[in-house]
Amino acid sequence: MPIVTPSGETLGARITGIDLSRPLAREEFALILRALAEHGVLCFPGQRLDPAAQVAFSRRFGELEVHVSGAFQVPDQPEVMILSNIVVDGQPIGLADAGQDWHTDMSFSRTIAFVNVLYALEVPRRNGRALGDTLFADMAAAYDDLPAALQVQLETLTATHDFAKFWDMMRARGGESSVRKPLTEAQRRQKPPVSQPMVLRHPLSNRAILYANPGYTVRIDGLPAPDSDGLLAMLFEHQLQPKYRFAHRWTEGDVLLWDNIRTMHNAVSDYGPDEHRLVRRCQAMADRVFDPEFARLAANPAT
């Protein structure tokens, strides 16, 4: 019997009693959608997933993204990306700096992301304490707390998001040792900047979401540069107030599912090269969740 245990914070819940390595019943998937709509970030502890099972579970939420870099993919499963600081024979086996600043995945894509599905195989520890928390910020709560006049203004605006902003920032942070290669012109053409509404209506909860993030949002369309820069700086500071944050502390076997529409996230890099982290990642796009069928399923799995 599945049990949903809320974290008691603005985001987060644990779900036990569901084995993600097997096909889910309609009622189980509907329960997950309802919990995701309510809590934004879900942990399924104690799972045992091979890459194929992770892909099958992730694909229930939408079409799976294959990362534009083409690097660190599981053989025969390009939808699964390896996130790791492990080096074998002088070569990294995964992307070591994935997500290490505040951002919303795929906000730079015309079809945005719906969920991430991460599966932890190795978790770094020091003196018995798990390291490498993933932090989240609740953009529904952040929108709710904005002044009414600003809410009205933002609902009329769009902003430009650019994949290269975050990629280049991570390359600069890693310096000459960065495993991220400069984007080729072909890769940049594959991921051109796109404009997104600054306020989204969540397809499952119907809550208003503040959809802008420090990682990829570069300007507010139609505003003079000083006005755009000032408003974005204010919104980014507002979004990252502690009251909107939730931290997930990892354990081996955790599957972490989070809603990219509602949240921003940040992978904490508080571990050293000899404190190994190994995580497999899938990402499902928002190509299906805006279909009313998803909302109906979440509301009533019998239909």
Taking only the tens place, the pLDDT of each residue in 215-271 is 999 999 999 999 999 999 999 999 999 999 999 999 999 999 999 999 999 999 999
* Greatest extent of the chain over all pairs of C-alpha atoms, in Å: 58
Quickly list H helices, 46-97.
51-59
Which of the four CATH numbers 3.10.50.30, 3.40.50.300, 3.30.420.40, 3.60.130.10 does domain 3-299 have?
3.60.130.10
Tell the residue number behind the tokens 């910020």, with chain if given. 137
Taking only the tens place, the pLDDT of each residue in 136-178 is 999 999 999 999 999 999 999 999 999 888 777 766 665 544 5
Phi/psi of residue 257, each to 5°?
Answer: -115, 125
Taking only the tens place, the pLDDT of each residue in 19-66 is 999 999 999 999 999 999 999 999 999 999 999 999 999 999 999 998
pTM: predicted TM-score of the whole model, two decimal places: 0.92
Are residues 16 and 42 in contact, defined by beta-carbon separation less than 8 angstroms?
no
Categorise residue 158: left if φ over 0, alpha if ψ from -120 to 50, beta otherwise. beta
* Rounded distance between C-alpha atoms, residue 242 and residue 11, angstroms: 12
Angle at 125 between CA 215 and CA 49, to 5 degrees: 75
Q: What is the per-residue burial (b if ≥16 Cβ within 10 Å, else e) of 159-192? A: bbbbbbbbbebbbeeeeeeebbeebeeebbeebe
* Rounded distance between C-alpha atoms, residue 70 and residue 72, angstroms: 7
Using CA atoms, how far residue 107 sits from 11, 76, 190, 218, 254, in Å, is: 20, 27, 14, 11, 25
Q: Does residue 86 surpass a pLDDT of 50?
A: yes
* Rounded distance between C-alpha atoms, residue 225 and residue 238, angstroms: 20
pLDDT value of residue 163:
85
Q: What are the boundaries of each domain within the chain?
A: 3-299
